[in-house]
Structure 1
Amino acid sequence: GYVYATRAALRRMLPRDHGTIVQVGSAVAYRGIPLQTAYSGAKHALQGWHEALRCELLHAGTHVRTTMVQLPAVNTPQFDWVLNRTTRSPRPLRPIHQPEFAARAIVHAADHPARREYWVGASTAATLMLNAVAPGLLDRYLARTGFAGQETDEPLRDWRANLWRPVDAHEDRGAHGRFDKDAATDNRHYGAADAVQGWISRHHTALAASAAAAAASAGAIARSRR
């Protein structure tokens, strides 16, 4: 879907030399998790596709831009119809965010496509940074917590998966899944951290420039005192 949709968009954007493509990724594009091997593999593939495409667009000198948002767990209907081979009903790995949180990040990325990617949510940033320095530690942590954290106590009943055919062809289930209460609880606990991470992400260029200027000033002062 990502590949075909991107190619369809490029057929119209490239002749106009204008446009932005936002690929919707996930923290699992970098950090695979148990019980989601296919999903993790697909997001890893999307990450590679995005990076290769970005290089090709830069080489071509076009003004068409592509960027990617790496999302945290989101409360969508996905968990009501994903193909499930376990005996329990699935759930997102907490902390859970509402679809509006993800939507705002995607809109921001579309408006600011110069960045190659955006990490959305404090949990995403923490996961990706820890995975970069201690992936083995995360392997062991997820081996202990990743199974129970993605299953409810509800047994599967009349489960219909949407892998081969849509299960909502005759109804609109909206953007929200059935974990509104958990998402609200997690927002109370982690909302401030998400807000800080979002602000840093949106202003990281200015912050980096300020840090570089401060370091240069400190170096100049140190040299003048010798």
Structure 2
Amino acid sequence: MTRISVVTGASGGIGRAVARKLADRGDAVALLARGEEGLDAAAEDVRRRGGTPLPIVVDVADYAAVDDAAARVEKELGPIDLWINNAFSSVFAPFIEMTMDEFKRTTEVTYLGFVHGTRAALDRMLPRDRGTIVQIGSALAYRGVPLQTAYCGAKHAIQGFHESLRAELLHERSNVRVTMVQMPAVNTPQFSWVLSRLPRKAQPVAPIYQPELAASAVLYAADHPRRREYWVGGSTAGTLLANAVVPGLLDRYLARTGYDGQQTDEPREPDQPANLWEPADGEGADRGAHGDFDDQAKARSWQLWASQHHGVLAAVGGGLVAAGAAWRFGRRA
């Protein structure tokens, strides 16, 4: 049976990579985003890879539009099995240099967009008592960094929303599952299309990972949604653990390194496109899944493999302990 999947923010970055992997396994994929050019290219990706695409132009900040999109998906493709919330926007700037309209817009897209998608999915999944919702999170859902106050605030809000909703579904003994995937820095086009007031070009903080790795983690989470969340990359695990133990030390560390670490040595182009209010693909080029940092990005993560193979690691660890005990016992005998 063909699975029906929905991906918001499907025209670029992680969403684009996720859509391709869903198509590889034969899903019908509803692609939701604002930019028609990117959506058309994403739909062609899905079609070439064996999936059935349904591109829908929608702004996730508009709940009625998101709900209408969900209704269209069910009418044209069938009951939704999987909904992946990924769409976002942001501003690279010190908080004091942002307008309140920019902060509000970032919140409406990046936080409320997830809330809107989740509600549209639940309204259809709960009566059937089945379905999975995956929230694309970030290490920044736990640890805020300078120059991204609106984005970090939105990701923190998604984290709290996810935890509350998961507890409610557990209370109701629902078979609808929700899980969250906390991402590291990923090589996506966002750094060339997010509104920026930085003097130099924005960049992800190393280590950087490729969007295909992130997409693989999302599909694994979708297929194993009983876990409340997944961490992708050693940097995510390290950041979250350090923030739990020494958050004040991280404040000071990021105050010293967070400004330079998020900028390249090249000056920002004054006419760089910004997708806060309008889609950036209107500039005439499909931006795909990758950003400008292929030469630095990693395609693998041992931490991700370990997080997905707890049983194997436990069995190996237990075997080593048993072997060690047997060896010691044999020596004493």
Which category of TM-score, normalised to the shorter sequence, fits these structures?
0.7 to 0.9
Residue of structure 2 equivalent to 1:24: 136
Residue of structure 2 equivalent to 1:166: 279
Q: CA deviation at 1:142?
A: 1.2
Q: RCO higher in 1 or 2 (8 Å CA, sep ≥ 6)?
A: 1
* Aligned partner (choices 182, 195, 202) of residue 308 of structure 2: 202
SS class of match (1:168)? helix
Q: Residue 155 in 1 paired to residue 274 in 2? A: no
* Aligned partner (choices 219, 238, 250) of residue 138 of structure 1: 250
Counterparts of 2:200 and 2:116, CA distance in 1 = 33
Q: CA deviation at 1:173?
A: 1.1
Displacement over 6 Å in runs of 4+: 209-215
- Structure 2: which amino acid aligns with 1:90? A
- Structure 2: which amino acid aligns with 1:76? T
* Aligned partner (choices 103, 117, 141) of residue 215 of structure 2: 103
SS class of match (2:226)? coil
**What do the CA deviations read for 1:44-79 (whole angstroms, capped 9, x no partner)?**
000001001101111111100000000000011110
SS class of match (1:118)? strand
**What do the CA deviations read for 1:139-176 (whole angstroms, capped 9, x no partner)?**
11111111111001222231221111112145421011
Counterparts of 2:147 and 2:164, CA distance in 1 = 28
SS class of match (2:198)? coil
Counterparts of 1:46 and 1:166, CA distance in 2 = 23
TM-score normalised by the chain length of structure 2:
0.59
* Aligned partner (choices 177, 181, 202) of residue 65 of structure 1: 177
Q: Residue 179 in 1 paired to residue 293 in 2? A: yes
Unaligned ranges ≥5, structure 2? 1-112, 326-333
CA 210–60 in structure 1, closer or farther in 2 if over 3 Å, else same: farther
- Point out the structure with the larger helix share: 1
Q: CA deviation at 1:86?
A: 1.7
CA-based RMSD: 2.3
Residue of structure 2 equivalent to 1:122: 234
- Structure 2: which amino acid aligns with 1:108? Y
* Aligned partner (choices 194, 209, 231) of residue 82 of structure 1: 194
SS class of match (1:146)? helix
SS class of match (1:147)? helix
Q: Residue 15 in 1 paired to residue 119 in 2? A: no
